[in-house]
Structure 1
């Protein structure tokens, strides 16, 4: 197929010093994140507003479903990574995942109960195929340039948040509007997911042989006999004589691992099936034991959703994580340094749980705070200030993204004209939607700010600060080059953000159902949350790609996203207790929990950073 078997662009052509292929992934991920965050920003508001039938959901039920959904969204990447590594190839996995997610968003747009749940299920499955594997392609683009990975992943992360910014802005406006309604918000998410799918499909030739399944690599090599070999090296592993595995093993063109003499070296222990069964049984036993423990501790629940969330989900998480990690670490084909680096990925993943557990309150309890406790109604005078600010906040980022689009056009339009036309059409739609939104806001004397609007600040701050952080990570500052230090900085900054929010909520009486707190506190909290996120998330993606054995890179991205599975569910579960906790210690005390725990985790991570450096074996 022509779109899959073409060559990479000239190496001298770049966009802001990065490869054009990175920006194909940038825009693909941007539209996928548009769809994910556009739907996510509406989920809790939809459930507590109208849901299905005459009675809206309680906060506890809405936040419980939010935790289950966002948790499983990050569980399925573990499976998607395995399927891509062994069977599908990364590009096929991305395409199939995007198609399934498009169907999921379409189902939700009907606002019919069974279609709503079907849509959530399809989004969970599709995201599992999409999320780890597009990140894997980014890593492979820079396989021979590890020093550039942190910067590349930070730019890629800027694309993620550009999509989140647009999705939250437009889906919350049209979805929460009485004139349009939730179907419009959910429908927009599906339209842009479809655009992302089409654009990636017709531009995928820009990756050369990267991301192809093994069965298609031979066809690529036959069609491109003079193409530069995309050789990669396995991670270094210290042997008794002090030599490294890097001196003995090379990933050559046919995708196999060979020694210096050209003899094949086993990439597995041949026991994947029995090991999987053994650790699956161990995980199942742990699930059963944990179920009875949790049932005793949690006590009876009011409805099936709460029973599943509080009785079944914790055992499922603990059993599956133990079984999955046991299966990976029992692989006897891992060399000692590979094993140590896998352990370091697991430690990074453990600490990132504390970050995302708190951070994901943005779509849960922080949305409730915006909906019920924040003064969002603006009179004519304040509405004027908001309109001007919103105009600048909206138009400037879209102009920047349009400029990036034209830079990509200049290099790739000739070879990938259809993909570029689809991408250009998407931006035409965005500008039309933005124009309608701004016109309607400017023609209203007073207005109510949508509850989801505040979440744009996370994405907006990332768009503003990501280039600066990308440059910061490239500076030759010894202590700043250490991954654990970056992670610790992120956790502490996140904690400071929640401390600010706790301070803003200090005046709200215990157990109050509503209040009118200034918008400032939410915006300030999002600023610190974003600075923390830039220290953790793109850097974490980069470190997984550096530390993971090449043959297991998709699987190890799956491990990294399992941490998000645990964190997202735990965040939703904790958020579902907002009312009893707020009654006991106040809403300020509730948010203070999310300040203290991440800061403590950051301090601990700094304390073990020396040990982590040894486990990483030379990876900065």
Structure 2
């Protein structure tokens, strides 16, 4: 799997818009609408599962949480195969078009209120996203030469597209579900999914029209221009959908075994290659695998945002702000607003610290600790701030999302960059696969953990307090441990910063 930091050939000469290659803005809007679609369904999925398939009974919360976690995990696992197909079979442009089309089909399918069609729709989204998501980021990198000083700035602009789509989507889709086609008491969730499907079609259309501006970038590999390759990939995706459906239906516990075996096999492959290349490369692979383990833990708790935090917001947070009732869906936009606001500040802090800038493992440790502080705030709220109606103040959950975003900014941006520096040169793609898999495993565990937070009968103040207390101590312990062993990991990195 190619990575944006390592384009295979010099970038073509492009017309410039606002100081950047013009196709960047086309990719910005393509990704904006894809993220609109992805985050549109994020806030509604667990609420819809409980409402539609459990008749609104809170006993369905644990199943909804586990389904959400498994869905996210498989999205990340599918990205490994999507990158390979783009590299070796279709090229990036056709991979993005096919992936967008398949995702749109899945988004419309989950609007059908039948359990098996819903799960098949989720599987279709996963398969389509696997072909779309890793490849559009790679395309951004290919717009710039290796030494072009604007590369980081270009990725920052692209990252804004991601966050703008994620910020606007919950607000608009919630308005459609409650104010236009439903009510607060009876939201019409299917219109959330339909709106997300329309967003995906806009993304597809935008890229279809704008791709001519990319020139040769992202075209099929030499000798792979035949349209029959597209047909072959579509057939392969049709075969993959029932496989993914089976993994979803088998449950999060079984999926955890599958993902763990895949991760162990990938780790062994990387380690063998590292040993073959000598002591320095072996040590770097070991350092990378240690950080992958901590990455699992970060996402296990961070991804409560779309599962248990949704039920917390819906049932236990006092969302009444004067005459205005803050919608549950809008909490999903807080992370994006925080990222857009805080990313430049945190980037400036790292630069200002100069030689005292924390090492990679210590930045990961800070990410875990900030994530833990968010759970500490929830512990305090659930133990000391519950009112006579069994509700905690609005500001507490709002700030949980903000604090988690600080943790994300400490950890997430350096992950892929770290892999390109530490993985064996011949297996950088597999290193990326390890990063995606560790994130996916964390997401699957997030669903299992959220199921425990909700308990057998649905979320209560005691069940939330018990679960989030465990989250705090796990994250604090892991962050402290990573700080302690950071010098050892730095030695294993042999000069990689």
Q: Residue in 2 aligned with 1:537? A: 412
Provide the C-alpha distance between the structure 2 equivalents of 1:206 and 1:469, rounded to a whole number of angstroms: 34
Q: Residue in 1 aligned with 2:29? A: 27
Q: Residue in 2 aligned with 1:185? A: 192
Give the C-alpha shift of residue 106 in structure 1.
1.2
Q: Residue in 1 aligned with 2:201? A: 194
Provide the C-alpha distance between the structure 2 equivalents of 1:144 and 1:358, rounded to a whole number of angstroms: 36
Aligned residue for 1:576, secondary structure, equals helix
Provide the C-alpha distance between the structure 1 equivalents of 2:287 and 2:393, rounded to a whole number of angstroms: 42
For residues 95-106 of structure 1, the aligned pairs below 5 Å read 95-106=97-108
2:458 is equivalent to residue 456 of structure 1? no
8 A Cα contact 2:252 2:444, kept in partner: no
For residues 120-159 of structure 1, the aligned pairs below 5 Å read 120-141=122-143, 144-145=146-147, 152-159=154-161
Stretch deviating more after TM superposition (77-86 or 203-212): 203-212
The superposition leaves residues 543-566 of structure 1 with CA deviations (integer Å, 9 ceiling, x where unpaired) of 334545676544433321111210
Q: Residue in 2 aligned with 1:357? A: 300
Q: 1:41 to 1:586 in 2, by over 3 A?
A: closer
Aligned residue for 2:13, secondary structure, equals coil
8 A Cα contact 1:154 1:467, kept in partner: no
Q: 1:459 to 1:310 in 2, by over 3 A?
A: closer
Q: 1:164 to 1:62 in 2, by over 3 A?
A: same
After superposition, the CA RMSD in angstroms is 3.5
Provide the C-alpha distance between the structure 2 equivalents of 1:544 and 1:138, rounded to a whole number of angstroms: 18
Q: Residue in 2 aligned with 1:602? A: 479
Q: Residue in 2 aligned with 1:315? A: 257
Q: Which runs of 5+ in 1 are unaligned?
A: 1-5, 220-303, 387-447
2:211 is equivalent to residue 204 of structure 1? yes
Q: Residue in 1 aligned with 2:393? A: 518
Aligned residues: 460
Q: Choose from 63, 67, 70 the match for 1:68.
A: 70
The superposition leaves residues 438-481 of structure 1 with CA deviations (integer Å, 9 ceiling, x where unpaired) of xxxxxxxxxx4322221211111112222333444455612326
Q: 1:189 to 1:468 in 2, by over 3 A?
A: same
For residues 23-102 of structure 1, the aligned pairs below 5 Å read 23-51=25-53, 58-102=60-104
8 A Cα contact 2:259 2:437, kept in partner: no
Give the C-alpha shift of residue 172 in structure 1.
2.6
Q: 1:218 to 1:320 in 2, by over 3 A?
A: closer
Q: Choose from 307, 317, 325 the match for 1:374.
A: 317
Bigger-Rg structure (1/2): 1
Provide the C-alpha distance between the structure 2 equivalents of 1:207 and 1:470, rounded to a whole number of angstroms: 30
Provide the C-alpha distance between the structure 2 equivalents of 1:491 and 1:72, rounded to a whole number of angstroms: 23
Stretch deviating more after TM superposition (312-321 or 579-588): 579-588
Q: 1:580 to 1:188 in 2, by over 3 A?
A: closer
Provide the C-alpha distance between the structure 2 equivalents of 1:594 and 1:143, rounded to a whole number of angstroms: 43
Provide the C-alpha distance between the structure 2 equivalents of 1:131 and 1:526, rounded to a whole number of angstroms: 24
Give the C-alpha shift of residue 41 in structure 1.
0.9
8 A Cα contact 1:94 1:129, kept in partner: yes
Q: 1:584 to 1:516 in 2, by over 3 A?
A: closer
Superposition TM-score, scaled by structure 1 size = 0.66
Provide the C-alpha distance between the structure 2 equivalents of 1:486 and 1:148, rounded to a whole number of angstroms: 25
2:167 is equivalent to residue 160 of structure 1? no
Give the C-alpha shift of residue 162 in structure 1.
1.5
8 A Cα contact 2:119 2:248, kept in partner: no
Q: 1:338 to 1:28 in 2, by over 3 A?
A: farther
Aligned residue for 2:357, secondary structure, equals helix
Aligned residue for 2:356, secondary structure, equals helix
Q: Choose from 171, 176, 184 the match for 1:174.
A: 176
Provide the C-alpha distance between the structure 1 equivalents of 2:392 and 2:489, rounded to a whole number of angstroms: 43
2:11 is equivalent to residue 9 of structure 1? no
Aligned residue for 1:75, secondary structure, equals helix
Q: Residue in 2 aligned with 1:108? A: 110
Provide the C-alpha distance between the structure 2 equivalents of 1:154 and 1:579, rounded to a whole number of angstroms: 37
The superposition leaves residues 56-88 of structure 1 with CA deviations (integer Å, 9 ceiling, x where unpaired) of 761111112112211211111122223233333
Q: Which runs of 5+ in 2 are unaligned?
A: 1-10, 227-245
8 A Cα contact 1:52 1:112, kept in partner: no
Provide the C-alpha distance between the structure 2 equivalents of 1:56 and 1:585, rounded to a whole number of angstroms: 15
2:335 is equivalent to residue 486 of structure 1? no
Provide the C-alpha distance between the structure 2 equivalents of 1:610 and 1:154, rounded to a whole number of angstroms: 30
The superposition leaves residues 102-151 of structure 1 with CA deviations (integer Å, 9 ceiling, x where unpaired) of 11101112333332111100111112222222333344556724987665
8 A Cα contact 1:24 1:203, kept in partner: yes
Give the C-alpha shift of residue 322 in structure 1.
1.2
Q: 1:188 to 1:579 in 2, by over 3 A?
A: closer
Provide the C-alpha distance between the structure 2 equivalents of 1:547 and 1:305, rounded to a whole number of angstroms: 32
8 A Cα contact 2:50 2:56, kept in partner: no
Stretch deviating more after TM superposition (165-174 or 527-536): 165-174
